[in-house]
Amino acid sequence: MSDAPIAIFDSGVGGLTVAAAIAKRLPNERLVYLGDTARLPYGTKSAETVTRYAVQATRALMRFEPKMIVIACNTASAVALPVLTAAYGSTPVVGVVEPGARAAVAASRGGTIAVIATEGTVRGGAYVRAIHALKPDAKVVQRACPLFVALAEEGWTDGPVPELAAEKYLKDIFASADSPDTLVLGCTHFPILVGPIAKAVGANVTLVDSAATTAREVETILDDRNLRRTGPNQKPTFLGTDAPERFARAGSLFLGSQIAPDQVELIDLAP
């Protein structure tokens, strides 16, 4: 099983920030990444719909016989993790919410934590529950930032447009003396907008990247189960449900390395 791949999925290419963090931390692992680009975003859809999509994505990935499934989507992690864990009990399933919450609680000095995410993640309150399970007296402030997803997908990661969006979304949260000292980037699209976000919240706020914290969680589980791969590095396998050219163009930004359109296998997730 140690030679088996790690399967990763997201609604689109934003989850490639998680894949990149895993590849950096565990360079010998084989990665298979599925972006459901035909049906993104998940953040505006109902919990029932997102769960159905997550089950379909995982079913498609199981043909690779993975040793682990990573839900590289905060919205899907928030609603579908229990379903996938129950369905694939012998295969560990890792979401991005719990690792992010643990890192936020550890980083917060005063116990006031802000979470920015998609509408679906905020509406579901998964980060609030996860943080309060670890620190019941924590104060959690949430803010949906849907425009960040579109900016990230278009590659508008710096300059006046993302800076104005970050200021509009975040200025009021961080304007008071008792404002949060920690900010969770609760969407896998958001890490590539870290420059404008950091500028808007100020230097005294600790940013928690759920991609990096999830990679550490993956490493811990592999070590606990003696599942680390020791073979030579291999290129990731990419699967998409629509527009391989767009997947390659936008995905290259999130992954931090070039993806060619012919590297993306087009698949259908319809039941």
Q: Are 74 and 143 in contact (CB under 8 A)?
A: no
Given a cut of 80, is residue 23 above it in pLDDT?
yes
In sequence order, which ranges of 125-259 are alpha helices (DSSP H)?
126-134, 146-154, 160-170, 194-201, 210-224, 244-255
Is 145 designated active site? no
The verdict on whether omega for the bond into residue 41 sits within 30 degrees of 0, i.e. cis, is yes
Q: Are 35 and 15 in contact (CB under 8 A)?
A: yes
Number of H helices, E strands in the chain: 11, 10
Mean pLDDT of 49-54: 96
Residue 27 one-letter amino acid: P
Q: Do domains 6-95+212-266 and 97-211 have the same CATH topology?
A: yes
Lowest-confidence segment of 56-60, 69-73, 179-183, 210-214 by average pLDDT: 210-214
Q: Quick one: what percent of the chain has pLDDT higher than 70?
A: 100
On average, the pLDDT of the chain sits at: 94
Is 73 designated active site? yes
Among residues 166, 170, 173, 187, the one annotated as catalytic is 187
Distances (CA, A) of 48 to 12, 79, 223: 18, 8, 34
**Residue 240, beta-bridge partner list:** 35, 266
Domain ranges of the chain: 6-95+212-266, 97-211
pLDDT of 120 reads 85
Given a cut of 90, is residue 80 above it in pLDDT?
yes
What topology does CATH give the domain 6-95+212-266? Rossmann fold (3.40.50)
Gap between the Cα atoms of 152 and 192, Å rounded: 7
Class of CATH domain 97-211 = alpha beta
Among residues 73, 185, 197, 248, the one annotated as catalytic is 73
pLDDT of 271 reads 67
Q: What is the pLDDT of residues 111-157, one digit of tens each?
A: 999 999 988 889 889 999 999 999 999 999 999 999 998 899 888 99
Q: What is the pLDDT of residues 226-247, one digit of tens each?
A: 999 998 888 999 999 999 999 9
Query: Residue 56: helix, strand or coil by DSSP?
Result: helix
